Each structure stands twice: as C-alpha cells, then as structure tokens.
Amino acid sequence: MERIAKLKSFITEDHRYVFLGTSFVAAIGIWFSMQRRSDMSFLRGAYVFEVCLYWFLMGWLALSAVALALKLMYKNDYQEKSPFCKKPLVTVVRWLSYGVWAATAILFVDRAVMGFLSVTSTALTQDKNPSGFLSSIVYMVDKSHGIIMQGVLTTVGLSVFGTLIAFFLAILLVFLRIQTVDRSDNDAVRFFKKAGVLFAKIYSTVVRGTPMMVQGMLIYFTGFGLLKGTGMTVSEIGAIWSTFVAGLVTISLNSTAYMMEVLRGGIEAVDPGQNEAARSLGLSQWQAMIKVVFPQGIKNAIPALSNELVVNIKDSSVLSVIGVFDLMFATKTVVGIYFKQVEMYAVAAVVYLCLTMVASWLLGRFAKRLSVEPAPLLSTSDGSATVGTVAGTGSSSESLDAKKRPKRRRSSDAR
C-alpha cells in the first residue's frame, strides 16, 4: 500500500510539472508565432499549418487552466477525483505535451533561426552599417573579426600565462607566509623567517587592497620611466617593455596575492597530525612541508586556484587603460570606427561569457579528474577560509576545528 501511495504521489507531482513547464513552453511558442516572418521563413507558404500550431498551443493553455481549476477544487483528494490522474488520460496528456514541444521547436526554428540567417545574409551584402540592432552587430563583427579575434587571443594569453606564473610565485610566497620559528633555529634563521612572514603579509595586504587598474598603471609607467632613465629611446623601450608584458606582470603579481592566501587556506586544512608525524620521523620543517603537507594542501586548494583563471579573464579588461590590445581594447577600437556602443559592448559581453563558461567547464573536468570537489570560491579569499576537504581525513575543516576543541570530561571519569 505504501508503494502504491508513493506511485500515485509521483504521478500527481509529475503531472503538475508537465502542465506547468509545458504551458511556459507553449506561451513561448505563441509568442514566436506572433512575430514577423523573415524572407527565409519556411512557413510562409503554409499558413493553415501555422494556424493549426497556434490554436494547438492555445488549446494546451486552456487544458492547463482546467487542470489548475480542478487542482484548486479538489485540493485534498485530487488524485481520486481528477480525471487527469486516470491512466488513459495521463498517457494522452503526455503525448500532447510532446506535441507542444515539437510545435514550439518548429516556430522557434522558423522565426528565430531562419530570421537570424536572413538578417545575417542581408547584413553581409550591405555597403554600409545597417540601422538594425542585430544586423548592425553582424555587419561590424564581419568587418572587424580580425580585430576582435586579436583581442580575444590577447585576453586568453594574459589570463592563462598570468595565472600559471602567479601559481609558482604563490608557492614561493606561501612558504614564507606559513613559516614558524623552530627551537633549533639560530638567530639569523629566526630573523629571515620573521622577515619573510612580514613581507608576505604586507604584499598580500597591499595587492588585495588596491585595484588592478591602478596597479597596471603604476607597473607600466614605473617600468617605462626606469628604462627611459637608462637613455633608451621610446622605440627601444617599446620593444622590451610593451603593454602586453606590463599587463602580464600586473596580472601575475595581482593573482599571486590571492593564490597565496588560497594555498595557505588549503595547507591549514591539512590535519596537523600529519605534520607532527612527519617531524617525529626525523623530517625537518621544510621537508615535512614539501613532502607531506604541501602536496595535500595544493589538492585542497585546486577549486579556488582554478577559479582565479576565470577571474583573470574578466579582470584583464581593465588593462586596456595602459594600451593592452585585449578584447576590451578591441571593442573600443571597433566602437570608434562605427560609433555603435551598445551593439559592440553586447558582443564583448557575449564573448567574455563564452570564455568564462568554457574555462569553468574545463576546470571542472580537471578538478573531477583529480577527485576534488569543484566548489566555486571567490578570489578574495581571506586567511581563515579553508578549501575543500581535509586531506587524508575525508572530513571538512569544520570537523577538524571540532577535533581541535578540548572535549568535556565525562562525569564518570571525573576524580
């Protein structure tokens, strides 16, 4: 009896979602049917068929309204009294829902797909920029695809190489950041450890507390001024200290601060007992960190480290202020040619969205291959943030904190 009740409940819930979801699809199909046909519309000569599709979708909306009225009428015993819960009618409704999807798909292809192809073919044959929004986008992208592609390649190059360089710099800085004074250290080692920790803290605070745009301008003009002070000409300086190099340095140094904190969080999420066990086996502090703790900490931090690439794809747009020919600079160039701001910035937004979606998908596959949870984390990670699960324990950092807390003595053990 319990299985039968669950089956009836599933049928009722599934039936409700069929009506709700398919009604939304039917409304979209009706909206498409009311749009103007394009020159390439294949329904132009099938007016009767299109009218049948329209009234079929309207009929589905009416049927959904009846089902909703019966649901309100038989609120408590809808399964027993509603005819839509009877098996023959359930099958009929399901097949009708398939028809709604098919009708909407036909109208979508006729109005949206064929309409876009018609606008594209018309815009490509124009001698000047059309006035329509979509046709103007197609015209400008076709005429300026080389400029846009150059900007895309520069953006991808800056993001990928900047993230990789920042990863290795972050490894070096995180070693300085997590150093602790050991009893066997002499005065010189103690001084350098404290100086390294202080430098890493100051670097993280300054970089994370200032905008990348300001950092890029400071780095570019400081480097330009230093090279000019050596007596080099502007052309000689441009061959060495180009805007691309300055932008790469900016992204690398900026991401290093964030990735250092992410790595520190991943290392601190490792069970402290593993470091203690390594030290008890005779390993030094450096050996224990390099061979035991650090590999697990990197694995814990992979989700947040990979998220930094997605952040850099978007944040690299600010480097156009120093003349880096990235996607944003290319967009501004095309805008200056055709004076179409909204259209070209819409194109830039779509391209950035595609780049970040592809990067997120690839990084998700990479994290899955390494058997880590691809949980998205912000790049502005603070020191208290922990990443992933505690390596070697399979438990989260919250459970690790719970283990660190002193346990209350049971009353039976009290003396």
The mean pLDDT value for 354-358 works out to 94
**pLDDT recorded at residue 127:** 87
Least confident of 179-193, 355-369, 389-403: 389-403
> Domain residues of the chain, as ranges?
2-125, 145-396
Residue 142 has pLDDT above 60, yes or no: yes
- On whether the CB atoms of residues 311 and 379 are closer than 8 A, the answer is yes
Return the structure tokens found at 35: 């749009």
Write out pLDDT tens, residues 252-300: 999 999 998 888 888 777 777 777 787 787 777 667 777 777 777 777 7
**pLDDT recorded at residue 305:** 76
**pLDDT recorded at residue 358:** 93
Write out pLDDT tens, residues 44-93: 888 899 999 999 999 999 988 888 887 777 777 767 777 777 777 778 88
The overall pTM is greater than 0.85: no
- The CATH superfamily assigned to 145-396 is MetI-like (1.10.3720.10)
Write out pLDDT tens, residues 80-96: 777 777 777 778 888 88
Supply the mean pLDDT for the chain.
Answer: 81
CB crowding 359-396: b at 16 or more within 10 Å, else e: bbeebeeebeeeebebeebebebeeebbbbbbbebeee
Percent of the chain with pLDDT over 90: 43
Tally the C-alpha atoms within 13 A of residue 16's C-alpha that lie toward its C-beta: 14
**pLDDT recorded at residue 83:** 74
H/E/C letters for each residue in the chain?
CHHHHHHHHHHHHHHHHHHHHHHHHHHHHHHHHCCCCCCCCCCCCCHHHHHHHHHHHHHHHHHHHHHHHHHHHCCCCHHHHCHHHCHHHHHHHHHHHHHHHHHHHHHHHHHHHHHHHHHHHHHHCCCCCCCCHHHHHHHHHHHCHHHHHHHHHHHHHHHHHHHHHHHHHHHHHHHHHCCCCCCCCCHHHHHHHHHHHHHHHHHHHHHHCCCHHHHHHHHHHHHHHHHHCCCCCHHHHHHHCCHHHHHHHHHHHHHHHHHHHHHHHHHHCCCHHHHHHHHHCCCCHHHHHHHHHHHHHHHHHHHHHHHHHHHHHHHHHHHHHHCCCCHHHHHHHHHHHHCCHHHHHHHHHHHHHHHHHHHHHHHHHHHHHCCCCCCCCCCCCCCCCCCCCECCCCECHHHHHHHHCCCCCCCCCCC
Work out the pLDDT band at 187, boundaries 50, 70, 90.
Answer: confident
Q: Please give the Cα distance from 302 to 387 (Å, whole number).
A: 8
